């Protein structure tokens, strides 16, 4: 599955450690994992990172930021929602990408009064004025940074980055082993500031291991693999004069499968649809990342209203397919594009 959401009754201590170590990250009162995101009409692969805290020290450039902000009062405490934090969120939320919660209460607690997480905050004050706050969840030996806010009037102080350093300092002093700042996205530099904290590791989901960040290979990123494999498939289809079209499928991460029983929904951000009907059915080719193979499948489409898709509903290069697709019958599964093409040609001959 490209995207999974879990909603346990509580999520802290060793259970949170487990989820974080397996590449999951918080979303409101859920925890989720995904292989692909769509920003500005382009697919990217989020990479989960973590900072080992044992023997970690701030390097010179970080110490300068730390020292610059010692003129302010920094407070660590159990997190709570307040009017001044909501006001700070309203000032700050224009900086966020994609879907943005309307309030900090919505962002952290899905609008509810309770939380399943053990959430703390770093609050920074200039006299009596709250100028920055960040929220982080605590496990047994891990901590996860969730969201940081700062007053734009104080932009010269790097407060958003300073609260990350304050979280790290809290983690070191309290014996935590790992600090999880979320994800970065190769080729999407807006999140690269997280790499400034030091030598981080990244989670390689395919092998279920953490490696040094400098070992990332662009060719291994799920978004790259999917598109490159489908392009390879289209080259073979062209060679055999098989008409096709590549579509972007924004429903791949919306979790509709929870509402359709045992049926298997298409779960991929890109797929190929054959433009020549066979037995009055248009067939689909998708690429299975887990099994490293192509699948030629007959799908049944259900019209489904699409809500709250925002910018994620389009792609710069491919048209958007907005009908929910349910897998009916797999005609061929193969690692070789040529075998898929031969199956299609035989089906076309039988249908003529």
- In tens, the pLDDT along 336-346 reads 999 999 999 99
Last residue of a domain, one of 192, 220, 248: 220
* Residue 32 shares a structural domain with residue 128: yes
* Residue 133 shares a structural domain with residue 240: no
User: Residues of the chain with pLDDT > 70: what percent?
Assistant: 91
Closest CA to 34 of 163, 26, 42: 26
Structure tokens at 303: 């019209």
Q: Each residue of 213-231: pLDDT tens digit?
A: 999 998 899 999 999 999 9
Domain CATH for 192 = 3.40.630
Give the number of domains in the chain: 2
Residue 256 has pLDDT above 50, yes or no: no
* Residue 232 shares a structural domain with residue 188: no
* Residue 125 shares a structural domain with residue 207: yes
Lowest mean pLDDT among 1-5, 69-73, 339-343: 1-5
pLDDT band per the 50, 70, 90 thresholds, residue 259? very low
Residue 349 has pLDDT above 90, yes or no: no
Last residue of a domain, one of 185, 201, 220: 220
* Residue 120 shares a structural domain with residue 172: yes
Confidence (pLDDT) at 88: 93
* Residue 159 shares a structural domain with residue 244: no
* Residue 307 shares a structural domain with residue 205: no
Confidence (pLDDT) at 99: 63
Closest CA to 123 of 94, 91, 159, 175: 159
The domain containing residue 81 runs over which residues?
3-220
Confidence (pLDDT) at 262: 59
pTM higher than the cut 0.85 = yes
Confidence (pLDDT) at 346: 93
Confidence (pLDDT) at 326: 83
Q: What is the DSSP letter of 260?
A: S
| CB-CB neighbours of 333 under 10 Å | 15
Average pLDDT over residues 18-27: 95
Residue 101 has pLDDT above 90, yes or no: no
Residue partners of 68: CB distance under 8 A and separation at least 6? 157, 158, 162
User: Do 36 and 43 touch, CB atoms closer than 8 A?
Assistant: yes
* Residue 148 shares a structural domain with residue 259: no
User: Do 111 and 105 touch, CB atoms closer than 8 A?
Assistant: yes
Lowest mean pLDDT among 59-73, 180-194, 306-320: 306-320
Residue 56 has pLDDT above 50, yes or no: yes
Residue 313 has pLDDT above 80, yes or no: no
């Amino acid at each position: 599955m490209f995207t999974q959401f879990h909603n346990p009754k509580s999520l802290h201590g060793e259970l949170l450690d487990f989820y974080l170590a397996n590449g999951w990250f918080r979303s409101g009162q859920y925890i989720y994992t995904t292989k692909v995101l769509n920003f500005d009409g382009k697919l990217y692969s989020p990479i989960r990172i973590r900072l080992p805290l044992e023997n970690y020290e701030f390097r010179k450039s970080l110490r300068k930021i730390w020292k610059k902000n010692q003129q302010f009062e920094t407070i660590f405490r159990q997190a709570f929602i307040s009017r001044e934090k909501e006001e700070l969120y309203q000032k700050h939320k224009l900086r966020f990408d994609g879907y943005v919660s309307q309030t900090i209460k919505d962002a952290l607690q899905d609008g509810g009064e309770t939380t399943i997480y053990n959430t703390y905050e770093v609050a920074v004050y200039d006299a009596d004025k709250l100028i920055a706050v960040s929220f982080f969840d605590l496990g047994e030996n891990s901590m996860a940074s969730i969201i940081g806010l700062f007053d734009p009037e104080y932009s010269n102080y790097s407060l958003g980055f300073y609260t990350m350093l304050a979280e790290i300092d809290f983690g070191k002093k309290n014996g935590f082993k790992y600090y999880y700042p979320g994800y970065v996205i190769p080729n999407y530099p807006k999140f690269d500031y997280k790499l400034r904290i030091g030598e981080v590791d990244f989670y390689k989901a395919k092998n279920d291991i953490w490696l040094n960040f400098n070992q990332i290979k662009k060719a291994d990123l799920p978004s790259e693999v999917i598109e490159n494999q489908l392009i390879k498939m289209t080259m073979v289809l062209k060679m055999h004069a098989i008409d096709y079209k590549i579509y972007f499928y924004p429903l791949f991460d919306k979790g509709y499968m929870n509402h359709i029983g045992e049926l298997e929904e298409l779960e991929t951000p890109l797929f190929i649809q054959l433009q020549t009907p066979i037995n009055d059915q248009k067939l689909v080719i998708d690429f299975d990342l887990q099994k490293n193979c192509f699948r030629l499948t007959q799908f049944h489409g259900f019209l489904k209203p699409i809500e709250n898709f925002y910018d994620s509903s389009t792609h710069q290069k491919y048209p958007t397919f907005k009908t929910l697709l349910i897998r009916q019958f797999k005609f061929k599964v193969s690692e070789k594009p040529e075998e898929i093409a031969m199956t299609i040609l035989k089906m076309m001959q039988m249908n003529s």
